[in-house]
Structure 1
Amino acid sequence: MSIEAIVFDLDGVIIDTEEVWEEVRRGYVAEHGREFLPDSQDRMMGMSTGEWSAHLADEVGVPRTAPEVAADVLGRMAGRYREALPLIPGSVETVRALGARYRLALASSSARILIDQVLETAGLTGAFEVTLSTEEVPRGKPAPDVYLEAVGKLGLTPGVCAAVEDSSNGLRSAAAAGLTVIAVPHGVYPPAEDALAGATLVVKAITEVTPETIAAL
């Protein structure tokens, strides 16, 4: 069955923000006299806003409510994006090239306010038929909810859709939803081997995801 649509992750695929997220959240936690748990960074990659803010408030111990933590951190992230958007080289061109041949959707763990700002700044507003935040579905990644919702909004089935992901939780989410998974592992935050094993194709850079590559899946 040939691929009809491609669903992109955002952080780590189109923009290189994992280090920014870690810096902002670690700094915020430190200001409140707390420290990340040993697995906090890995666990939060792919979590929805409600999930990671609850982790920082309830498990790490930041003395603020989860909604307050979310508002504080998202405000700082938005400020960083306004200063400089860390686009991954070739990502915008890749999206446009694939969009000329395939239907596109976006399934991100970022908050809606950040998704919309990134797309506007990158000149990609309108490039995707569907854009979804895990805030808008019951469960964040690694649950399949956001991918199933994106595919459903496209009016397609998972079997004719490919996903482009970088993180362990993202790869697991797309695989659990039944999409054909393309992995673009992050150099600093590589996915776990078991998550990577669910990918049909592993590439070194987003620029390797071409219309010809998709057609050959």
Structure 2
Amino acid sequence: MIFDMDGLMIDSERLYFQAERELASRYGKSAPDGLLRRMMGRKALESMELFVRELDLPLSPEEALAQRNPLMRRLMREDLRPMPGLGHIVESFFGRLKMAVATGAPREFLDIAMDGLGIRDRFELLLASDGINKGKPDPEIFLAACAGLGLPPAECIVLEDSENGVLAGKRAGCYVVAVPAEYGRGQDFSPADVVVNSLLEAEEHIVGLLPAP
């Protein structure tokens, strides 16, 4: 089972929105929700390329990222919150299924989240965008996660909260459970195998997919 992180495991999309709005305001710009939603799930640099282009900022994507990351680092350390049901679903499947995290966030943010939540040891594999060439919706990171778990994609379940992540999971050949959160509203989750309202519902659905003990 492969978890996305931002918006799925941790309530971080609101922090990204806050950091990116603050960055835009430094240059007299306003970042609309639609733009910020389109950035969800992508690699950090790819999201900043979109951000800089759409807002016509006098920055390179690399410069924008260098300004955004300290804002995100501070916000994550001050206000890291797990999504409802995270602890329950992780403990429910720990020891029953191989579990991984595959996030478009940089490794630094993944480490802050895993250590802050105290669940690093529950996962066999932690993959961040560092070392990944193409971000979601490209399937690269999910294919790497499947390979790292030693399982074919058809035997892996992906949990995602963004349209880009759902597309990446399906393109990898995985079974995809979409768990849209507040900041994912309005995105197209129709490619997912199932759409649920919470991690608790996701857990119930996945239990039903597994063979009886």
Fold-level similarity (TM above 0.5): yes
Q: 3-state DSSP class of the match of 2:177?
A: strand
- Residue in 2 aligned with 1:200? 193
C-alpha distance 77-32 of structure 1, shift in aligned 2 (>3 A): same
Structure 1 position 57 matched with structure 2 position 47: no
Cα 1:117–1:214 shift into 2, 3 Å: farther
How far is the alpha carbon of 1:213 from its aligned partner?
3.4
CA RMSD after TM alignment: 1.8
The AA in structure 1 aligned to 2:14 is E
CA distance in structure 1 between the aligned counterparts of 2:80 and 2:186, rounded to whole angstroms: 23
CA contact (8 A) 1:185 1:191 kept: no
SS at the partner of 2:141? Answer: helix
8 Å Cα contact 2:2/2:99 also seen in 1: yes
* Partner Cα separation in structure 2 for residue 69 and residue 14 of structure 1: 25
Unaligned 5+ segments in structure 1 are 1-5
Which residue of the partner structure matches residue 92 of structure 2?
97
Aligned-partner residue type, residue 159 of structure 1: A
2:128 is the counterpart of 1:133: yes
Gaps of 5+ in 2: none
Aligned to 2:9: 14
Query: For residues 79 and 37 of structure 1, what CA distance do their matches in structure 2 show?
Result: 22
Structure 2: distance between partners of 1:197 and 1:54: 26
Distance 2:53 2:64 in 1: 11
The change in CA–CA distance for 1:84 and 1:192 in structure 2 (over 3 A counts) is: closer
Residue 149 (str. 1) matches residue 148 (str. 2): no
CA distance in 2, matches of 1:38, 1:84: 21
TM-score, with length taken from structure 2: 0.90
Q: 1:162 aligns with which of 138, 150, 157?
A: 157
Whole-angstrom CA distance in 2 between matches of 1:65 and 1:192: 27
* 1:3 counterpart residue number: none
Q: 1-side partners of 2:124 and 2:135: how far apart?
A: 21
Deviation of the 1:52 alpha carbon: 1.4
The residue correspondences of 1:30-45 to structure 2 (distance < 5 A) are 30-36=25-31, 39-45=34-40
Q: Distance in 1 between matches of 2:161 and 2:32?
A: 22
Q: TM-score normalised to the size of structure 1?
A: 0.89
Number of aligned positions between the proteins = 209
